[in-house]
């Protein structure tokens, strides 16, 4: 097993991607708040959380193993991070719709999809160290 100290791990800088996603969610919250008051803003916030939390988890878990000698471990780490992201997304959708349903589903899904579409910009936003 390899020693994975935080100082030894060189992760791609995904902070920009996550920051732009958070910015898009904030814009959607403002739009929802201006057009439909607190209900629109809260629904947008819930949709943003369902998108952002799994992406934060993936960014945290995906790049634990580095180096050409550990190619199989890198692939396994990506699969585990993606499976965790998917599971967390499903769990968050269930929690939101069962425990605290959004009052305006259009803003919920609008914020979710808008934040999700930021991934299309990832070639421009993610830089290798």
Question: Taking a C-beta distance cutoff of 8 angstroms, is the pair 50, 89 a contact?
Answer: yes
Question: Taking a C-beta distance cutoff of 8 angstroms, is the pair 60, 48 a contact?
Answer: no
Range of the domain at 36: 15-122
Q: Would residue 111 count as lying in a domain?
A: yes
pLDDT tens by residue, 62-91: 877 666 567 788 788 889 999 999 999 999
Q: Would residue 34 count as lying in a domain?
A: yes
Q: Binning pLDDT at 50, 70 and 90, where does residue 1 land?
A: very low
Whole-prediction pTM: 0.80
Q: Cα-atom radius of gyration of the chain, to the nearest Å? A: 17
Q: Would residue 128 count as lying in a domain?
A: no
User: Has residue 7 got a pLDDT over 60?
Assistant: no
- CA distances 57 to 21, 28, 99, 106, 121, Å, are 14, 22, 22, 25, 19
Count the domains in the chain: 1
Q: Would residue 7 count as lying in a domain?
A: no
């Amino acid at each position: 097993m390899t020693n994975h100290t935080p100082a030894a791990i060189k992760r791609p800088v995904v902070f920009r991607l996550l920051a732009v996603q958070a910015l898009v969610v904030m814009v959607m919250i403002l739009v929802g708040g201006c057009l439909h008051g607190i209900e629109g803003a809260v629904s947008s916030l819930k949709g943003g959380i369902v998108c952002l939390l799994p992406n934060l988890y993936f960014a945290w878990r995906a790049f634990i193993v580095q180096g050409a000698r550990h190619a199989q471990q890198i692939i396994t780490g990506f699969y585990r991070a993606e499976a965790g992201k998917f599971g967390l997304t499903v769990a968050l959708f269930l929690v939101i719709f069962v425990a605290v349903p959004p009052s305006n589903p259009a803003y919920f899904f609008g914020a979710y999809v808008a934040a999700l579409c930021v991934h299309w910009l990832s070639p421009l936003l993610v830089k290798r160290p």
